[in-house]
Amino acid sequence: MDKIAILCSGGDVSGMNPAIKRFVEYSFAKGLEPYFIHGGFEGLIDGHITPATYPDVAGIITRGGTKIKSSRSPRFHEARYRTLAANNLKAQGIDKLIVLGGDGSFRGMELFYHEHQIAFCGIPSTIDNDINGTDYCLGVNTALEVIKNAIDSIRDTASSFRRAFVIETMGRNCGYLALVSAITSGAELCLIPEMNLNIEDYKGCFESQIRKGRDYFIVIVSEALQNSHAVSQWFEQELGVESRVSVLGHIQRGGNPSVYDRLMAYQFTTYAIDALLEGKTHSIICYTKSHFSFKSIDEVALNSYQLDKELLALGHEQFAPSQCQM
């Protein structure tokens, strides 16, 4: 049988384990012999490659994270370690590879393919949702659910104590998580890199709201701005509202995978394996406007992700100073 392997690279996301389960089951169904690469590119370099079996994936569909572990691999940036990684695959007779990761992982795989011609298909897997060419990345829906639950809980205590809460979400350089969470939680303000908003423009509006009875505020801030504490201080110093910062951190990456992420994991993985069987050698499986498509590795890895224009317009409409209710 032809041999195929799977690895996870970079930050873990809820949805990786369902993808791993589907990988094993669908590989056998297609007459392939599946293998796990443990520990991402680091594990590939060190030869941590084992055959995968049905018992290995029993019960993992409900678990966040990744059974086969992940890593960030500075060594994979060096050609000599990529050669070592390729030799480890070839020694096992593996000539097909599924990679769950983000843009950094895909850039590494682009080099790896051109150097060693080992066919691969990438599955976008990052809660940042910042991969160019795809509208959705594995793990995003579960992360949004975690954020939603956190904001709803924080709102309870914010209203009880007459406070402003500045809630910081992940997202690296992308404001997707913060924007979607702010819109769907009814936040009073959203600050992300893609929307150039000046908090001073809200002072008059917020003061008017306070005079009319508003006694708490919910503000969603992307970690990319690195200003959550400054925003909190602004509420205290400029509005006289007691304020707290809540950094959600890594809870956003974990948790029981949502139904949507389980389904997407199965679909992503199915398309990825089919792509390799059809002869596609270096592609990323993307999901755009409710359908799947393949794009070249160059198109995905070498271009920057841009927030959806309609979503960004909705954010501007909802959070622009001119829309603040006096």
- Which DSSP symbol is given to 138? B
pLDDT given at position 303: 83
pLDDT at 253 over 70: yes
Residue 311 lies in a domain: no
Q: Tell me, what CATH number does 25's domain have? A: 3.40.50.450
- Please check whether residues 127 and 27 belong to one and the same domain: yes
* Count, residues in the chain: 326
Q: Comparing 319 with 146, which gets the higher pLDDT? A: 146
The count of structural domains within the chain is 2
Task: Assess if residue 187 is contained within a domain.
Answer: yes
Same domain, 297 and 205: no
What per-residue confidence (pLDDT) applies to 43? 98
Which CATH number characterizes residue 247's domain? 3.40.50.460
Do residues 52 and 104 share a domain?
A: yes
Q: Which residues contact 174 (CB under 8 A, 6 or more apart)?
A: 128, 129, 130, 193, 194, 222, 224, 305, 307
DSSP strand E in the chain: where? 3-8, 33-37, 49-51, 94-101, 119-124, 164-169, 189-191, 217-222, 243-247, 282-288, 291-296
Q: Is residue 323 predicted with pLDDT exceeding 80? A: no
Q: Which of 281, 283, 165 is nearest to 216 (CA)?
A: 165
- DSSP class of 78: S
Classify residue 216: in a domain, yes or no.
yes
Do 184 and 241 lie in one domain? The reply is: yes
Q: Domain boundary residue among 231, 253, 275?
A: 253
Q: Is the pLDDT of residue 302 over 90?
A: no
Return the pLDDT at 315: 78
- Residues whose CB falls within 8 Å of the CB of residue 48, separated by 6 or more in sequence, listed in order: 37, 38, 39
Query: Which pLDDT band, with edges at 50, 70 and 90, does 326 fall under?
Result: low
**Alpha carbons 139 and 16: distance in angstroms, whole number:** 8
What value does the mean pLDDT take over residues 119-124?
Answer: 97
208 with 268, same domain? no
197 and 58 together in one domain = no
User: pTM for this structure?
Assistant: 0.90
In our burial notation (b when 16+ CB lie closer than 10 A, e otherwise), range 215-224 reads ebbbbbbbbb
Q: Identify any residues that bridge with 294 across adjacent strands, giving them in sequence order.
A: 285
Do 190 and 135 share a domain, yes or no?
no
Does some domain include residue 326?
Answer: no
My answer on whether 29 and 119 are in the same domain is yes
Same domain? For 114 and 33 the reply is yes
**Could you read off the pLDDT of 153-181 as tens digits, one per residue?**
999 999 999 999 999 999 989 999 999 99
Q: Of 221, 253, 285, at which residue does a domain stop? A: 253
Name which of 178, 180, 175, 184 is nearest 166 in CA terms: 178
Q: pLDDT-based confidence at 236, cuts 50/70/90? A: very high
Q: What is the pLDDT of residue 325?
A: 65
Does residue 318 surpass a pLDDT of 90? no
Query: Contacts for 206-212 with beta carbons within 8 Å, 24 or more apart?
Result: 206/239, 206/324, 207/239, 208/326, 209/324, 209/325, 209/326, 210/239, 210/241
Tokens of 267: 């679909």
Q: Does a structural domain hold residue 127? A: yes
pLDDT at 288: 87
Residue 50 DSSP code: E
User: What is the extent of the structural domain holding 148?
Assistant: 141-253
Residue 208 counted as domain residue: yes
| Residue-level pLDDT at 309 | 84
pLDDT at residue 314 tops 90: no
| 318 within a domain of the structure (yes/no) | no
Within this chain, do residues 135 and 8 fall inside the same structural domain, yes or no? yes
Do 222 and 127 fall within a single domain? no
Residues 39 and 126 in one domain: yes
Q: Spot the catalytic one: 2, 12, 56, 128.
A: 128
In a domain, 279, yes or no: yes
Distance between CA atoms of residues 159 and 217, nearest Å:
8
Q: pLDDT tens digits for 126-146?
A: 999 999 999 999 999 999 999
**Tens digit of pLDDT for each residue in 203-231?**
999 999 999 999 999 999 999 999 999 99
**CA–CA separation, 147 vs 125, rounded Å?**
18
Active site residue 128: yes
Mean pLDDT of the chain: 94
